[in-house]
Structure 1
Amino acid sequence: MDTQATRTARELGGTWIAPFGVGAMLMGTSTPEGEARRILDHFVGEVAPRFSAPDGTPARAMIDTADCYCWWEAPGTDGGQSESLLGRWLAETGARERVHLATKGTARLREFDGAFLPDGDPDWAWAYDHFVGASREVLMTSVDASLERLGTDRLDLYYVHVDDRSVPLEESVGALAGMVADGRIGGYAWSNAPAWRLALVQETARAHGWPLPATIQEEHSYLRPRAGLERVAVIGAEHLDLARASAMPIVAYSPVLKGLFSAKERRDPSFWAMASYAGPDADARLATIDEVASQTGATGNQVALAWLMAQESPQVVPLVGARTWDQYLECAEAVDVVLDADQLALLDAAGA
């Protein structure tokens, strides 16, 4: 494995990007606009320019958002805050050509009466029954609305955010392929779907001569899902096999699982971000993270990110979705953590 992989750009759908991306989910709601702009300015102006394609072309800075972000942080709205903030920032900075801009559709809600529990938390079980879905009409209108909020005429990457099995894949993939053809999107992808559905997306595209999906985006970290987990949004062995066989990179959200690689108090099985992983295997891998962090002087979060960025089969592009500047900066500095072959082997082999 290339121990310098954390210092090289990654290719995604024909575009070379920095080895990690910024997730903008909380920008405009939990992350105030001024702090969001500070993160964006630093990532696009200071981090991404350190990387380049093999021909010397500067790498782009991948920024990832969605049209539903972030209604659950702002009750009484239907989302769009993140895209709108990014649109204002892009217009004022002129940074569009330096950014690989990704957004998602299909997870806005048809209605909101019932979207929140009595304690004020979002009712996700209810929400999953009220998403707008992935029909051709929804996809076409959603892309146009995202383009308007983002203030651009083209999206570099567009995701089906939540898999919609009520709509034939020929309809969804066909709509996306049509928008690739007319230039509204540079490529498309799926998120939060089981590997077998992603294989069907590929099969559908091949059968019609349409472009293949550029990537898959799922929750993915150094920890492995616990035995018996039934949660399609978490990367499993089947996802890895599919990506490997397709030579397709994985975009990983929640790569530091709310910071628990650094914050040991969050490793309790009762902490919701730990629930999908808790068990002897996770305990062994977390102990190894701590060991390598001690060897390198890096934080646990930085070691976990450096390990992800060093993966080659398949390649992984982690998304740093920090709420604050300090959280972002800790993660961004992971590009300076170079794990040697022994450390990578130790991390790879850890587990119950």
Structure 2
Amino acid sequence: MKKVELGRTGQYVSQVSLGCMTMGTSTDEPTSARILDAYLDAGGDFLDTANCYAWWAGEEFSGGESESMLGKLLRGRRDRVFLATKVAAGITDLPTARTADRPDGSTDWAVRERTYEGASAAVIEREAEASLRRLGTDHIDLYYVHVDDRATPLEETLSALDSLVRVGKVRYIGWSNVRTWRLERIRSLALSHGWAAPVAVQQQHSYLRPAAGADAASIAGGELLDWLSVYPDVSLAAYSSLLRGIYDDPEARESKPIWRAYAGPDAEARLAAVAKVAAALGCSGGQVALAWLLRQSPTVIPLIGPRTWEHYESIAPAFTLELPDELVSLLDNA
């Protein structure tokens, strides 16, 4: 698997990151171990989790299960991986948070966000220690603010993160689900104070382009992509890179809430291009979409989040799928 530099840190990571969100909840231990082993054997080393994963998977879960599972599976081989986790979206009121899920599968984010723990200094210090304990490690390689917290002064958040970097509990910091103007402010403020600045931003990003009016707080739109082209010291960790299977399931698109951010003529044209390329290469649409992302700027690092072994098997061929230039051109110009 290809390795790329994370920002301008001198740290190289696999260009495909393994999202471990469901490990320990909807993905059982044997399957989690099998997926992790296969990913490592394929040359992967960039693991992504969060302190809140995955409280929504069942009434018996409260968050931290993914970190605990990874801590168990990584015993004796922690040095083989670059480990990312997150803070700020832990749930302080689980009963209220559970009411945010609507029957149609969408989420009332206003309800959900009222229960987030936020990114205060006290939360960061407490939750970093909890994550380190669950992960069974003495340091976190990349520590994200999971959801931008606009109620806490940035100075407080950045100073707390910098303190973790200075004592060696965190190596690098990042931000997720953040608007571009806020990311610019975060970066500028960190640099002006000599604090650790973000080396990665994690946003939803795929081959399909978001429709006009899609929420720019969580999706990498044109403005953020332009910003990143100016600041190559910040990598884009692209979550939901396969858009939860919509490249290969046309009939289910209308029932998947994620489709609403992309639906329209542009998405239809791009899906048609993916289908044409997939037919030409004898592969799946999801494999084409992931291979296309891997052809983009080396500062783009797609995340995959397989829940089952079969899902992982369906994705893995894209790690080495070569797209001929003429098919890349077809995808680029759709």
TM-score by length of 2: 0.94
CA change 1:315–1:346 in 2 (3 A) is farther
Q: CA deviation at 1:129?
A: 0.9
1:74 — aligned with what? 58
Q: Does 1:226 align with 2:211?
A: yes
1:32 — aligned with what? 28
The C-alpha deviation readout for 1:38-87, integer Å capped at 9, x for no partner, is 0001111x211xxxxxxxxxxx6111000000111122432110000000
Instruction: Output the CA distance in 2 between the equivalents of 1:35 and 1:162.
Output: 29
Q: CA deviation at 1:323?
A: 0.8
The C-alpha deviation readout for 1:178-200, integer Å capped at 9, x for no partner, is 11111101100000011111111
1:113 — aligned with what? 95
2:143 to 158, 169, 172: 158
Indicate conservation of the 8 Å contact 1:193/1:232, yes or no: yes
Instruction: Output the CA distance in 2 between the equivalents of 1:135 and 1:320.
Output: 29
Q: Give ranges in structure 1 of 5+ residues lacking alignment.
A: 1-6, 49-59
CA change 1:187–1:286 in 2 (3 A) is same
2:42 maps to a residue whose letter is V
1:75-90 equivalence runs, <5 A: 75-90=59-74
1:47 to 24, 42, 47: 42
Indicate conservation of the 8 Å contact 2:91/2:115, yes or no: yes
Indicate conservation of the 8 Å contact 1:115/1:124, yes or no: no
1:85-96 equivalence runs, <5 A: 85-91=69-75, 94-96=76-78
1:267 maps to a residue whose letter is R
SS in 1 for 2:238: strand
Q: CA deviation at 1:266?
A: 2.6
Instruction: Output the CA distance in 2 between the equivalents of 1:342 and 1:180.
Output: 45
1:259 — aligned with what? 245
Q: Give ranges in structure 2 of 5+ residues lacking alignment.
A: none
1:202-213 equivalence runs, <5 A: 202-213=187-198
Q: Among the aligned pairs, what percent are the same residue?
A: 44
Q: Does 1:325 align with 2:309?
A: yes
Instruction: Output the CA distance in 1 between the equivalents of 2:12 and 2:169.
Output: 20
1:286 maps to a residue whose letter is L
1:279 — aligned with what? 264
TM-score by length of 1: 0.89
1:171 — aligned with what? 156
The C-alpha deviation readout for 1:271-325, integer Å capped at 9, x for no partner, is 212110000000000000011111111210000000001101x631111101111
Aligned length: 328
1:80 maps to a residue whose letter is G
